[in-house]
Homo-oligomer: A and B are copies of this chain.
Amino acid sequence: MKLDDIAIVTVSAVAPAAALSGNAAVLLREIADRVRRLIDSGESAAIDLLAMPLSAADLDWLRERLGAGEIRIALDADGESTLNETNCPGVWWVEHHNPAGGVMSAFIEVTHVPKLVKAHVDDIRSGLERLELLVANMS
């Protein structure tokens, strides 16, 4: 038996992988509601996809409905995080992977820009110290 003969299936403890549970449709309504709130009041939201009873088919269905946007962000820190804009601007598909590449967490973020992308002031200060050292060593 060759490896190619082995069918690869994704197993979900919650719902059969091939079946839509109906929860993705509920989630799509929730996302639309959160986008409305983002427009009306600037309120951001994060929806934990792995904490919800979603089958693999649900996730595929959702990903297809939201589509792919123009922006792809990769962040390397103890495994890669991907923060990809969907075709609905303001809606981001965010996944954190372990160093082996496995998905550790998955979120829908509804926000102007995902939190992780913003440079924090403490990090900017540390960077400035390095820059000042470089500049001092030049003279």
| Minimum C-beta distance from A75 to chain B (A) | 5
A50 CB–B CB distance under 8 Å:
no
Give the size of the chain A interface in residues (CB under 8 angstroms). 44
For A89, give its contact among B77, B91, B119, B138 (CB under 8 Å).
B119
| Chain B residues closer than 8 Å to A138, beta-carbon distance | 25, 28
Q: Which segment, of A3-11, A30-38, A97-105, faces chain B?
A: A30-38
Whether A76 and B65, one on each chain, are in contact in the complex, defined by CB atoms closer than 8 angstroms, is no
A76 proximity list for chain B (CB < 8 A): 70, 72
Q: Which residues of chain B have C-beta atoms less than 8 A from A25's C-beta?
A: 138
Residues of B within 8 A of A119 (CB): 85, 89-90, 111-113
How many angstroms from the CA of A15 to the CA of B135 in the assembled complex?
Answer: 22
Provide a sorted-by-A list of 7 A–B residue pairs whose CB atoms are within 8 angstroms. Answer: A39-B125, A39-B128, A70-B76, A72-B73, A72-B75, A90-B124, A111-B119
Q: Which residues of A contact B (CB under 8 A)?
A: 25, 28-29, 31-32, 35-36, 38-39, 65, 70-77, 85, 87-91, 111-113, 117-121, 123-128, 130-132, 134-135, 138
- 6 tightest CB-CB pairs across the interface, nearest first? A88-B127, A89-B123, A90-B124, A89-B119, A90-B119, A32-B131
